[in-house]
């Protein structure tokens, strides 16, 4: 395998890659949103007059929707603008467009909004979901599953450890704000946008605007970071409606403040975890989880049922109960943030593991290994565990931790934490490969968001199957009009799922070449000769040009199609009491090691060294894989130590900016060792497992455990800021 | 938006002439621009005029024996790059390095920071500990004020409507240190900043603390508990306790009052030790 | 009052400031007036570093700069570093180490590091260079590859 430079590196280093924020078209108007002035309240009146009075300004509100969308037949699930009830602070109530940015801002400020404010619903602690008061938040999701004899486990335990953990909301913070350009082209509503999921965005827009999907075209641009935040449409519906109202192209980009205020992020949660221990083993475990779901719609929250699947840990426990509640509050709706809520759930569960081991006086790594799932075990919901390299990762992490512990200075601690994840290989995708005499084109509908999974990952798959040099492979992105369907970038699926489609398409091409050469398909590889591609099988060599028909040549080459629609495992539904739980597809483990130093007088924590052992199945492209792990660990360090959304009493996010919402800077990131464990094969091409989300999951717990090792204090709240550590140290 | 008029004086006289025109509330003064631009964006009522100080001949730095005079519009990055600053006044060097990022410090200025007078300023405490003097020019003439009398509260100083900060004088180079605590070490606002300096001529310490509402303060009572350039542990503890009791801390979203008290006690002891152990310090804390 | 020279140069080309509104930011001037989108718009509040440009060879946040303030000065954007030896060293090291993912923060890093190399030359240690990059945020790489690139430039790579 060759490790050439990223094909997009040069253009990105020269600033030559056009992101959605960089796009401009002649005659374009600038859009701006009119924010709700309260987090909860009723709209008494909305007067767009003062904005419309400004020369050149277009303004639209809820009253204009019927005029702009004459084809809308049924009521849409979530209206673009609220007509009555304000659900969260800065919720868009109307939108404006003007010839300049300044004018658009001025027009947005000119709109007169009269509201009757109500106290925001924020509190999720202490709320009794069974007997909610008249003015309490709705439960939008409730899940409950049970297995084994929990009463017996707790009744006969040597001891029970019961702990409560609190986690903060965290934001994706892609450096590129959401931005798009919308244009109505005849019957077609066209939007050029920064999206992880062009087809998903088309579907959502169709439902939001009440239009058939074929009248909407989503054209993805290069994405300046996603992390889950660029999935569901955010700016697109407003821009499209403004374009419709004005008859002009409209650019709408969020300010960075709006990024925070409107972003679909993760929100605070509380985890109560109790374990019954007998004879040094976990006999029973019960977890109760409360998640702040913001203004999410009832029945539409996927996070609760998914993330809770990781909350009991990848361990053999005879009796379990897990229950999760998601509450509607007056914060923005929940959204997927890199492994949605898993780092938070795992923070509770993996910190709890170290505290149990300490109570027992045993080595925490050995304690984990005595319980950890291996292939063939059953999960808490009865699913059979597939190839799973976590025990091996733990073994290696434990050995490294022992080495690091030897040179631990005073107030320094070394610890291990684990996490696991399941790649969304169940979500489907298709590609079309076109082999011309000189290159292989991968025609697909998913944009590179940065990880390299598209621009390097799926290219490496084609390279591996066909033996073609990767500089002869070109990724050819198409918009939703002409691209083969793909589910998009989420759930660590790009390489693992879209990569399978590429693998199948490449195999189809190879088969066809084998037929035409009259050789066994598996023996055909591509090579280069005088600038042309040749098919080689043993001594047989033939120019691709010579193997194509005249029609194929005219159409650009030989086409191979690949479709991947995955199947996933099954859970034992008898264990589910209420709600929707999801089976795992792949079993992807990770064990991390952190060395931290805790200032015993100020509580400041410095991460000195870090290592990640990743169960990768098969590494298809090493630089891409390594970059994912390093980036995920750094993001996890932010969740662990500094990142937290804070909310004022009036429901407004009080740290909506990059100064006060603190993502890690270069100086806080320690050297990160990355180790891959191969051989426990996943469902992806050649056995690859998705690596986008797994590396963030164990980080907060691993850092918390290292603080525990360094100082003896158990941290139970994220982020572990200097002040929180100082309080735990009883310095205050 | 009715765009403001933009004035760029290149001499002190031109600057004062510009100040004479218009009402004070209608004017925004831009030094390094790092704060003023933010204000321009967030202001509900746009200003009538912006006066940029960039072209004034005040981007100067001059040592005279033990004293240092810093032009108010000198970029902080130029100040920190002075070959002698780190060695001779390490606390000032540390404080300057604590401000924003390099790209910010290429524009940000000492005058701008003083004029903004943020309670969380990293520069005001060290200027207090160094007995800095603010040199002011104005329509009514020139005057000079100790920094202690100059800063009053956030965005509030002794500067009159027709006045500008021309330079800041540091009377003598002193063994000194500035230590801070933040949630995130870089690109953050300090929860507490502690500046200390020992005056070899007056044979006394100066201790100042930032992160205090309404403004950073000097702590004369704590200073008096320290004898000589290398106070012992008992003296340090006493001074730390005095400081943590004396300072009017408050709770805000960056830190609680209790945590600030703890921090000031710890950072004060560390800063005095760092400054005292280092007559010709290398700088880094 | 100063008759401010009504022009500045951007990437060595003169730009007439007469039609530029006085409240326009340098960021918007280079991106929208001059068609140089390599300077990225991130936070617009001076906290991310994506919009870093050089003014007279020194890194400056163009989102916090009024264009008219820099009349007479020389502005260099990432596009203007094409033939710059320091810029070329930075690009080569970032490319070799794969020190970028989505690329949105990348031009800011290139410009900021180029400024540091111009300003400090070989005098700065790798640690100082790294500390001085603290104002540039990156969310994708975890900075690991960027650190390797800086060390490579500094000749500390094995």
At the second CATH level, the architecture of A269-424+571-728 is: 2-Layer Sandwich (3.30)
pLDDT computed for residue A72 by the predictor: 63
| In chain B, where the domains are located | 5-52, 61-170, 176-276
Cβ–Cβ gap A15/C40 under 8 Å: yes
Q: For C83-153, which CATH superfamily applies?
A: [2Fe-2S]-binding domain (1.10.150.120)
The minimal CB distance from B185 to the residues A655, A668, A731 is found for A668
H/E run at residue B204: strand B204-210
Average pLDDT over residues A56-83: 83
Q: Copy the structure tokens of residue A193.
A: 């946008």
The minimal CB distance from A602 to the residues B189, B253, B266 is found for B266
pTM for the full predicted model: 0.96
Percent helix, strand and coil across chain A, each to the nearest 5: 30, 25, 40
User: Which chains, if any, share at least 3 CB pairs under 8 A with chain C?
Assistant: A, B
For residue C157, pLDDT beyond 70: no
pLDDT computed for residue A1 by the predictor: 42
pLDDT computed for residue B282 by the predictor: 37
- How far is C88 from C103, CA to CA, in rounded Å? 17
pLDDT computed for residue A332 by the predictor: 94
Please write the tens of the pLDDT for every residue from A495-522.
Answer: 999 999 999 999 999 999 999 999 998 9
For residue B79, pLDDT beyond 80: yes
Q: How far is CA B148 from the centre of its chain?
A: 10
pLDDT computed for residue A672 by the predictor: 98
Topology of the domain comprising A427-565: Aldehyde Oxidoreductase; domain 4 (3.30.365)
pLDDT computed for residue C104 by the predictor: 98
Please write the tens of the pLDDT for every residue from A552-590.
Answer: 999 999 999 999 998 778 999 999 999 999 999 999 999
* ipTM above 0.85 for this complex: yes
For residue A451, pLDDT beyond 60: yes
Please write the tens of the pLDDT for every residue from A225-266.
Answer: 999 999 999 999 999 999 999 999 999 999 999 999 999 999
Interface of C with B (CB under 8 A): 1-2, 4, 21-23, 25, 44-47, 49, 52, 55, 58-61, 63-66, 68-69, 71, 112, 115-116, 119, 132-137
Please write the tens of the pLDDT for every residue from B85-101.
Answer: 999 999 999 999 999 99
pLDDT computed for residue A557 by the predictor: 97
pLDDT computed for residue C2 by the predictor: 45
Do residues C129 and C149 touch, judged by C-beta distance below 8 A? Answer: no
pLDDT computed for residue A135 by the predictor: 57
Question: CB distance from C144 to chain A under 8 Å?
Answer: yes
- How far is A195 from B16, CA to CA, in rounded Å? 53
Cβ–Cβ gap A174/C102 under 8 Å: yes
| In chain A, where the domains are located | 10-119+172-262, 269-424+571-728, 427-565
pLDDT computed for residue A73 by the predictor: 55
3-state SS string for A48-111: CHHHHCCCCCEEECHHHHHHHCCCCCCCCCCCCCCCCEECCCCCEEEEEEECCHHHHHHHHHHC
Please write the tens of the pLDDT for every residue from A547-559.
Answer: 999 999 999 999 9
For residue B280, pLDDT beyond 60: no
Q: Which residue has the higher pLDDT, A434 or A134?
A: A434
pLDDT bracket for residue A70 (50, 70, 90): confident
- Comparing A197-201, A359-363, A443-447, B26-30, which segment has the lowest mean pLDDT? B26-30
Q: Does domain C3-80 have CATH number 3.40.50.620?
A: no
Please write the tens of the pLDDT for every residue from A352-399.
Answer: 999 999 999 999 999 999 999 999 999 999 999 999 999 999 999 999
Is the bond preceding residue A4 a cis peptide, omega within 30 degrees?
no
- How far is A220 from A478, CA to CA, in rounded Å? 8
Cβ–Cβ gap B258/A604 under 8 Å: no
pLDDT computed for residue A76 by the predictor: 62
Q: Which CATH code, of 2.102.10.10, 3.30.56.10, 3.90.1170.50, 3.40.50.300, is assigned to A10-119+172-262?
A: 3.90.1170.50
Q: Which residue has the higher pLDDT, B49 or A698?
A: A698
pLDDT bracket for residue B35 (50, 70, 90): confident
Instruction: Kindly report the nearest CA distance between residue C101 and chain B, in angstroms.
Output: 22
What is the share, in percent, of chain A residues with pLDDT greater than 90? Answer: 90
For residue B60, pLDDT beyond 90: yes
For residue A129, pLDDT beyond 60: yes
What is the share, in percent, of chain B residues with pLDDT greater than 70? Answer: 94
B202 Cβ contact list (under 8 Å, min separation 6)? none
Q: Which residues of C touch B48 (CB under 8 A)?
A: none
- Comparing A112-121, A140-149, B45-54, which segment has the lowest mean pLDDT? B45-54
For residue A212, pLDDT beyond 70: yes
Cβ–Cβ gap A225/C139 under 8 Å: yes
For residue A305, pLDDT beyond 90: no
pLDDT computed for residue A298 by the predictor: 79
Domains A10-119+172-262 and A427-565 share a fold: no
Q: Which residue has the higher pLDDT, B50 or C114?
A: C114
Q: How many residues does chain C have?
A: 158
| In chain C, where the domains are located | 3-80, 83-153
Q: Which residues of C touch B3 (CB under 8 A)?
A: 21-23
pLDDT computed for residue B285 by the predictor: 35
Listing DSSP states for B17-84 in one string gives HHHHSS-GGGEEEESSSTTHHHHHHH-SS--SEEEE-TTSS---EEEETTEEEEETTSBHHHHHT-TT
Q: C64: alpha, beta or left, given left = phi > 0 and alpha = psi -120 to 50?
A: alpha
Cβ–Cβ gap C103/A635 under 8 Å: no
- How far is A7 from A474, CA to CA, in rounded Å? 10
pLDDT bracket for residue B48 (50, 70, 90): confident
For residue A615, pLDDT beyond 70: yes
What is the share, in percent, of chain A residues with pLDDT greater than 70? Answer: 96
Positive or negative, the CA dihedral B100, B104, B109, B112 is negative
Phi first, then psi: what are they for A32, rounded to 5°?
-150, 150
pLDDT bracket for residue A719 (50, 70, 90): very high
The minimal CB distance from C2 to the residues B10, B37, B38 is found for B10
For residue A597, pLDDT beyond 90: yes
CATH, domain range B61-170: 3.30.465.10
Cβ–Cβ gap C47/A632 under 8 Å: no
Do residues A11 and A17 touch, judged by C-beta distance below 8 A? Answer: yes
Q: For B176-276, which CATH superfamily applies?
A: CO dehydrogenase flavoprotein, C-terminal domain (3.30.390.50)
Beta strands in A344-461 (DSSP E): 412-421, 429-435, 440-444
Using a 10 angstrom Cβ sphere, with 0-12 exposed, 13-18 middle and 19 or more buried, the burial of residue A119 is middle
Q: Which CATH code, of 3.40.50.720, 3.40.50.2300, 3.10.150.10, 3.30.43.10, is assigned to B5-52?
A: 3.30.43.10
Q: Which residue has the higher pLDDT, A72 or B224?
A: B224
For residue C93, pLDDT beyond 60: yes
């Amino acid at each position: 395998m060759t490790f050439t430079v990223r094909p997009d590196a040069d253009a990105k280093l020269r600033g030559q890659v056009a992101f959605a924020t960089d796009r401009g078209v002649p005659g374009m108007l600038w859009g701006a949103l009119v924010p709700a002035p309260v987090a909860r309240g009723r709209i008494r009146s909305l007067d767009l007059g003062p904005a419309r009075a400004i020369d050149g300004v277009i303004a639209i509100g809820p009253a204009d929707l019927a005029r702009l969308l004459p084809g809308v037949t049924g009521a849409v699930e979530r209206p673009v603008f609220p007509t009555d009830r304000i659900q969260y602070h800065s919720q868009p109530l109307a939108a404006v467009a003007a010839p300049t940015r300044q004018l658009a801002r001025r027009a947005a400020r000119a709109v007169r909004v009269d509201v009757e404010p109500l106290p925001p619903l924020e509190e999720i602690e202490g709320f009794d979901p069974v007997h909610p008061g008249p003015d309490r938040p709705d439960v939008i999701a409730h899940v409950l599953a049970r297995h084994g004899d929990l009463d017996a486990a707790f009744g006969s335990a040597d001891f029970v450890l019961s702990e409560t953990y609190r986690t903060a909301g965290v934001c994706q913070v892609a450096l590129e704000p959401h931005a798009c350009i919308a244009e109505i082209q005849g019957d077609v509503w066209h939007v050029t946008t920064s999206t992880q999921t062009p087809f998903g965005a088309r579907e959502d827009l169709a439902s939001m605007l009440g239009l058939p999907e074929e009248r909407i075209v989503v054209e993805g641009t290069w994405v300046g970071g996603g992390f889950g935040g660029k999935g569901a449409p955010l700016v697109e519906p407003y821009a499209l409606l403004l374009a419709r109202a004005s008859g002009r192209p409209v650019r709408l980009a969020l300010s960075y403040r709006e990024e925070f205020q409107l972003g679909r992020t993760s929100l605070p949660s509380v985890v109560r975890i109790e374990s019954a221990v007998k004879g040094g083993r976990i006999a029973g475990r019960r977890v109760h989880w409360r998640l702040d779901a913001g203004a999410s719609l009832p029945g539409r929250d996927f996070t609760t049922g998914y993330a809770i699947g990781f909350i009991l840990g990848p361990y053999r426990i005879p009796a379990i109960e897990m229950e999760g509640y998601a509450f509607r509050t007056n914060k923005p709706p929940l959204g997927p943030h890199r492994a949605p809520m898993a780092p938070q759930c795992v923070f509770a569960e993996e910190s709890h593991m170290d505290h149990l081991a300490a109570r027992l006086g045993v080595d925490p790594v050995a304690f984990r290994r005595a319980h950890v799932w291996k292939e063939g075990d059953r999960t808490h919901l009865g699913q059979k565990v597939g190839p799973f390299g976590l025990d091996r990762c733990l073994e290696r992490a434990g050995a490294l931790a022992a080495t690091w512990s030897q040179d631990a200075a005073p107030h320094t601690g070394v610890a291990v934490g684990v996490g696991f994840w399941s790649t969304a290989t169940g979500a489907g995708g298709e590609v079309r490969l076109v082999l011309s005499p000189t290159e292989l084109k991968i025609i697909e509908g998913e944009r590179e968001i940065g990880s390299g999974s598209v621009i390097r990952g799926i290219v490496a798959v084609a390279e591996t199957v066909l033996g073609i040099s990767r500089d002869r492979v070109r990724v050819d992105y198409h918009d939703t009009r002409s691209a083969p369907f793909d589910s998009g970038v989420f759930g660590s699926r790009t390489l693992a799922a879209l990569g399978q489609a590429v693998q199948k398409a490449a195999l189809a091409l190879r088969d066809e070449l084998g037929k035409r050469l009259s050789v066994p398909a598996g023996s055909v590889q591509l090579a280069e000769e005088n600038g042309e591609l040749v098919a080689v099988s043993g001594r047989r060599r033939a120019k691709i040009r010579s193997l194509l028909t005249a029609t194929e040549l005219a159409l650009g080459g030989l086409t191979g199609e690949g479709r991947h629609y995955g199947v996933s495992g099954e859970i034992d539904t008898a264990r589910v009491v209420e709600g929707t739980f999801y089976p795992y597809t792949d079993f992807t483990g990770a064990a991390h090691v952190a060395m931290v130093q805790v200032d015993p007088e100020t509580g400041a924590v410095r991460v000195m060294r870090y290592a990640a052992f990743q169960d990768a199945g098969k590494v298809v492209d090493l630089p891409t894989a390594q970059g994912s792990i390093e980036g995920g660990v750094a993001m996890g360090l932010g969740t662990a130590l500094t990142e937290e959304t804070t909310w004022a009493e009036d429901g407004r996010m009080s740290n909506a900016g990059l100064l006060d919402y603190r993502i890690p800077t270069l100086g806080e990131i320690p050297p990160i060792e990355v180790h891959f464990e191969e051989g426990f094969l996943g469902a992806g091409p050649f056995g690859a497992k998705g690596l986008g989300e797994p590396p963030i999951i164990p980080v907060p717990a691993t850092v918390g455990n290292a603080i525990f090792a360094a100082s003896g204090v158990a941290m139970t709240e994220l982020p572990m800021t200097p002040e929180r550590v100082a309080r735990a140290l009883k310095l205050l | 938006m009715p765009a403001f008029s933009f004035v760029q004086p290149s001499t002190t006289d031109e600057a004062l002439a510009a100040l004479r025109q218009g009402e004070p509330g209608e004017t925004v003064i831009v030094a390094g621009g790092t704060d003023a631009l933010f204000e321009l964006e967030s202001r509900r009522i746009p200003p009538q005029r912006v006066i940029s100080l960039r072209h004034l001949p005040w981007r100067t730095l001059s040592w005279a024996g033990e004293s240092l005079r810093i032009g108010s519009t000198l970029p902080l990055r130029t100040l920190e790059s002075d070959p002698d600053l780190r060695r001779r006044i390490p606390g000032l060097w540390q404080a300057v390095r604590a401000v924003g990022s390099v790209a910010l410090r290429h524009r940000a200025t000492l005058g701008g920071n003083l004029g903004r007078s943020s309670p969380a300023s990293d520069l005001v405490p060290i200027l207090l500990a160094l007995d800095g003097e603010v040199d002011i020019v104005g329509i009514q003439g020139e005057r000079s004020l100790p920094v202690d009398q100059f800063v009053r509260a956030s965005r509030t100083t002794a500067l009159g409507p027709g006045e500008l900060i021309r330079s800041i004088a540091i009377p003598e180079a002193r063994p000194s240190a500035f230590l801070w605590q933040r949630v995130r070490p870089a690109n953050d606002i300090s929860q507490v900043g502690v500046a200390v300096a020992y005056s070899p001529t007056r044979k006394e310490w100066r201790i100042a603390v930032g992160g205090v509402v309404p403004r950073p303060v000097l702590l004369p009572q704590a200073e008096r508990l320290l004898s000589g350039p290398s106070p012992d542990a008992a003296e340090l503890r006493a001074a730390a306790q005095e400081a943590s009791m004396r300072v009017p801390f408050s709770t805000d979203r960056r830190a609680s009052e209790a945590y600030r008290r703890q921090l000031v006690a710890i950072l004060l002891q560390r800063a005095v030790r760092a400054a005292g152990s280092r007559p010709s310090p290398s700088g880094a804390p | 009052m100063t008759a401010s020279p009504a022009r500045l140069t951007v990437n060595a080309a003169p730009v007439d400031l007469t039609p530029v509104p006085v409240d326009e930011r340098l960021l918007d001037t280079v991106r929208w007036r001059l068609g140089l989108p390599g300077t990225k718009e991130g936070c617009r509040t001076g906290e991310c570093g994506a919009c870093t440009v050089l003014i007279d060879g020194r890194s400056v946040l163009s989102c916090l700069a009024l264009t008219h303030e820099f009349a007479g000065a020389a502005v260099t954007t990432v596009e203007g570093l094409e033939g710059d030896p320091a810029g070329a060293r930075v690009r080569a090291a970032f490319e070799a180490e794969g020190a970028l993912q989505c690329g949105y923060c990348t031009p800011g890093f290139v410009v900021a590091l180029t400024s540091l190399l111009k300003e400090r030359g070989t005098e700065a240690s790798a640690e100082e260079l790294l500390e001085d990059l603290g104002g540039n945020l990156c969310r994708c790489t975890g900075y690991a590859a960027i650190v390797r690139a800086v060390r490579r430039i500094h000749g500390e790579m094995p």
